[in-house]
Amino acid sequence: MNRKKFLKTLGTATVASPFLFDLRAAVEKRKVKPIEGSWFEFQHHNPAEGKYWNETLANFTCEQWDAKIKEIAAAGLRYLVLLDVAIYGKSFYPSALLPQHELNCDDPLEAILAAADRYNIRFFLSNGFFGDWYQPAMLMQDADIQKLRLKAMHELVERYSHHKSFYGWYYPNETGIVGHYDDFFIDYVNTSTAEAAKLTPEAKTLIAPYGTRNIKTDDRFIRQLEQLNVDYIAYQDEIGVEKTRVEESAAFFERLYKLHKKAAKSKLWADVEVFRFEGKVYDSALLPAPAERVIQQLEAVSPYVEKILIYQYLGMLNKPGSKVFAGHPDSDELYQRLSGYSYLKS
**Segment holding 123, helix H or strand E:** strand 122-126
300 confidence band (pLDDT: 50, 70, 90) = very high
Q: The whole model's pTM is what? A: 0.91
Strands 90-91 and 86-87: antiparallel
Q: Tens of pLDDT along 152-190?
A: 999 999 999 999 999 999 999 988 999 999 999 999 999
Q: From the centroid of its chain, how far is CA 292?
A: 20
Say what the pLDDT of residue 31 is. 83
Q: Which CATH class is domain 35-340?
A: alpha beta
Q: Tens of pLDDT along 275-284?
A: 999 999 999 9
Domain segments of the chain: what residues? 1-30, 35-340
CB 120 within 8 A of CB 78: yes
Say what the pLDDT of residue 346 is. 57
Specify the range with the lowest mean pLDDT, choosing from 6-15, 294-303, 333-342: 6-15
30 confidence band (pLDDT: 50, 70, 90) = low
43 vs 136 pLDDT, higher one: 43
- Mean per-residue pLDDT, 184-198: 97
Q: Give whole-number Cα distances, 193 to 31, 123, 153, 265, in Å.
A: 34, 16, 11, 14
Q: Give whole-number Cα distances, 145 to 123, 151, 194, 218, in Å.
A: 24, 10, 17, 33
Q: Tens of pLDDT along 237-256?
A: 999 999 999 999 999 999 99
Q: Is the pLDDT of residue 5 over 50?
A: no
